[in-house]
Structure 1
Amino acid sequence: MEGNVMFYFVPVKDIKSAKALYRDALGLEESWREGDFTVAFKLPGTDVELMVEQVQEGGPDAAGPVLLVPSVKDIYENNQGKLHFVDEPSETPDGLWVSAKDDSGNGIYFTDESKHE
């Protein structure tokens, strides 16, 4: 399984207080937003961004890396039994996304840019 870390995903209960912490208190520069509940911050000295998202009940609940992979469908189909997938692949503005956990409950997330192909 190959993939580059694009983001480090941090699920939060309240996006407003999270923005106040990461942007205002810690001084991270906002790099983009998606809707009202997702914001990304640049992490100095790296191409990896911190992606903070307000999640709903039953949504992703563990922080973890977001790996850019060639095909989320392939990851999902070829890793049944190796990873605990939280849900089935879902659409993003650029392609697909799927949430998984390792044996310790840490989040591992996969995304692709299949809409750009």
Structure 2
Amino acid sequence: MDGQVIFFFMPVKDLKQAKQLYRDTLGLTESWREGDKIVGFKLPNTDIELMVEEVSEGTPSAPGPIFLVPSVQDIYEKGSDTLQFIDEPGETPDGLWLSAKDDSGNGIYFTDESKATANA
């Protein structure tokens, strides 16, 4: 796999409480928002950001790294022997997204910029 970790995904029950913890208590700087359910925070001394998302109860999600890869579709087609996919690839504003778990149940996520590349 040719990819780099760009985010660490942290699912939460209540985004307002999570923002208070990560921003106000821990002192992280908010770097971006996507709607009213997702907030990004800069992590000191790294290019990796913390992506905090309010998830609905029952949504299968676990904390884990998010890798930026050249092709989510390739990961989906080639990774079935080593990853347990939560769902098929889904769309994001920039490309595709894929949720998976490793054999220990840890979350591992993939995203690409296929739409951004196609529009360039």
More displaced, 34-43 or 77-86?
Answer: 77-86
Task: Tell me which residue corresponds to 1:110.
Answer: 110
Task: Tell me which residue corresponds to 2:50.
Answer: 50
Structure 1 residues 1-117: aligned runs within 5 Å? 1-117=1-117
Q: 2-side partners of 1:109 and 1:60: how far apart?
A: 12
Q: 2-side partners of 1:65 and 1:58: how far apart?
A: 20
SS at match of 2:44: coil
Cα distance, 1:81 vs structure 2: 2.4
TM-score w.r.t. length of structure 1 = 0.96
TM-score w.r.t. length of structure 2 = 0.94
Is the 8 Å Cα contact of residues 6 and 48 (structure 2) preserved in structure 1? Answer: yes
Cα distance, 1:58 vs structure 2: 3.8
Aligned-pair identity (%): 71
Q: Deviations over 1:40-89 (max 9, x none)?
A: 00001000000000112343421000000000011001111210001111
Q: In the comparison of the two structures, how many residue pairs are matched? A: 117
The letter for the 2-side match of 1:36 is: D
Please give the root-mean-square deviation of Cα atoms over the aligned residues, in Å: 0.9
Unaligned runs of 5+ in 1: none
Cα distance, 1:93 vs structure 2: 1.1
Moved over 4 A (4+): none
Q: 2-side partners of 1:58 and 1:82: how far apart?
A: 24
Unaligned runs of 5+ in 2: none
Q: 1-side partners of 2:37 and 2:53: how far apart?
A: 6
SS at match of 2:17: helix
